[in-house]
Structure 1
């Protein structure tokens, strides 16, 4: 109760200070606060999973739609999951129990969401036929053990699967054991920073007359019509045809009759390239992928080194572990329908 009274008192004091300063002409000072966490909360501070209001299934600890939307925020973050999916499918041995496109889609889900799902397809006699991919975006774990459901659009009732009908593969999450945790979460802030810098650059490009300077005049020889003409020329420099120079002639003007005071001179203090490079490096580190494999152009003549050696190291450190994740499906497959992967030529010797 005491804490609540303190909050009310602090709120009242804040409102009182606003009333005192609203009518005077004192200078207004302000400062920017701390960066806001992603989606209103820190990715690493969630408490776990909880049953949804009806109590039928568990809500994921991280917004699945948010993770899917994040793919469009950055060029590298949006294409690396496809690259990993392609490598997973490249060496997959054709198998009737699991189609290559089903494996590829499940590999994509596993990289983006941290978990993927398969449905066991059986014939009318109950014999196993094959595995079918289920989109991880709408899959939920029900409160009953080994039972899942799939959410439907427009608020329709979820599709409920029978116990043991769905196979789930997931990354390890130390905070909960119901859903998986994607490995790139530490780089989400860099993904958003990269997107923000690109959006800022687009706005600057489309509006060349941004607030980058203060056009200051202090000459009695400038009349009202002259001021209006200067203002009109500045306003017309926006959009197409911007970055134009302007000539001003003031008869009997003084040395500092017209001054250009930079405020945010992006032409001389542009941090755009540095922000893009630093955030890109964070994104590649979060995905643990070499720049040569991510389509990054080298900045020196030497490049990134031997691409074949880089591919071998990436195969051993990333592709093989991802293959081992999906080889766990053999625990649910009959002996004659178990899946496997071929070895590339550089890994056979």
Structure 2
């Protein structure tokens, strides 16, 4: 603000490092490795979503989808490691021959360790002298239990994230499943604008009331100014 107390600039403070004082009136910026900074009274505007457990910080609307987003990330990492590993390198090598010498076994172990990639699957070497009718057997993991349900996990986690943000999937570039469709994208955009975007815009206009002057203004949503197509 200037010498008259009029605002010159609005800046966004990173919510991750913002802390409220015990009096619930003061605000602090607390970041590791730096001295805590206290804002002057009345210099912080907090737009807060309600929380049934506390009324200090509120709760982000996306919080309920963090677990689904983490699950989707884990599925991506597993599939990436699967392909980095080559899938062929994850297997059980069963050696039942008694005449295998120690030098050959050590050489085979080193070869298997070098073939392993990021660790999605590990190689297992089993040496059981006189343990079976076949001397050497190679059992690929992907032929045994490598059912990661990747597509089902991705679809379920995607739906959870979309539901948390209440965004129509066609506006996110998502592809419909087989023999299905998402419907008219223009109608979906209109409903999304009315039910989701406009309430957020109205909430952000609280900053105007806090400052006592208009500093935030939104352009009309283009699709709401036109007649819907039949």
**TM-score range with shorter-chain normalisation?**
0.7 to 0.9
Distance 2:110 2:6 in 1: 79
Flag the 1:279–1:323 CA change in 2: closer, same or farther, 3 A. same
Distance 1:346 1:186 in 2: 30
Select between 172-181 and 269-278 the one with higher mean Cα deviation: 269-278
The corresponding residue for 1:258 is 136
Distance 2:144 2:193 in 1: 43
Flag the 1:222–1:327 CA change in 2: closer, same or farther, 3 A. same
Q: Does 1:318 align with 2:199?
A: no
What's the offset of the Cα at 1:303?
Answer: 4.5
In the alignment, is the contact (CA less than 8 A) between 1:211 and 1:264 conserved in 2?
no
What's the offset of the Cα at 1:326?
Answer: 0.7
Match runs of 1:211-222 below 5 Å: 212-219=90-97
The corresponding residue for 2:80 is 202
Query: Deviation digits for residues 328-347 of structure 1, max 9, x if unmatched?
Result: 22322335x36432322332
The corresponding residue for 2:66 is 188
Distance 1:141 1:232 in 2: 57
Unaligned stretches of 5+ residues in structure 1: 1-120, 241-253
Equivalent residue in structure 2 for 1:141, among 20, 27, 44: 20
Q: Does 1:161 align with 2:20?
A: no
What's the offset of the Cα at 1:197?
Answer: 2.1
Match runs of 1:297-336 below 5 Å: 297-300=175-178, 303-334=181-212
Residue-pair matches, total:
213
**Secondary structure, counterpart of 1:124 in structure 2:** coil
The corresponding residue for 1:347 is 224
TM-score relative to the length of structure 2: 0.73
Unaligned stretches of 5+ residues in structure 2: 119-131
Match runs of 1:1-349 below 5 Å: 121=1, 123-129=2-8, 131-152=10-31, 154-162=33-41, 164-208=42-86, 212-219=90-97, 231=109, 234-235=112-113, 237-239=115-117, 256-261=134-139, 265=143, 269-300=147-178, 303-334=181-212, 337=214, 339-348=216-225
TM-score relative to the length of structure 1: 0.51
Flag the 1:176–1:231 CA change in 2: closer, same or farther, 3 A. closer
Distance 1:209 1:184 in 2: 35
In the alignment, is the contact (CA less than 8 A) between 1:206 and 1:238 conserved in 2?
no
Distance 1:266 1:192 in 2: 27
Flag the 1:266–1:186 CA change in 2: closer, same or farther, 3 A. farther
What's the offset of the Cα at 1:295?
Answer: 2.8
**Secondary structure, counterpart of 2:189 in structure 1:** helix
Distance 2:98 2:7 in 1: 92
Query: Deviation digits for residues 10-57 of structure 1, max 9, x if unmatched?
Result: xxxxxxxxxxxxxxxxxxxxxxxxxxxxxxxxxxxxxxxxxxxxxxxx
Distance 1:159 1:177 in 2: 21
**Secondary structure, counterpart of 1:284 in structure 2:** helix
In the alignment, is the contact (CA less than 8 A) between 1:209 and 1:237 conserved in 2?
no
Distance 1:145 1:238 in 2: 55
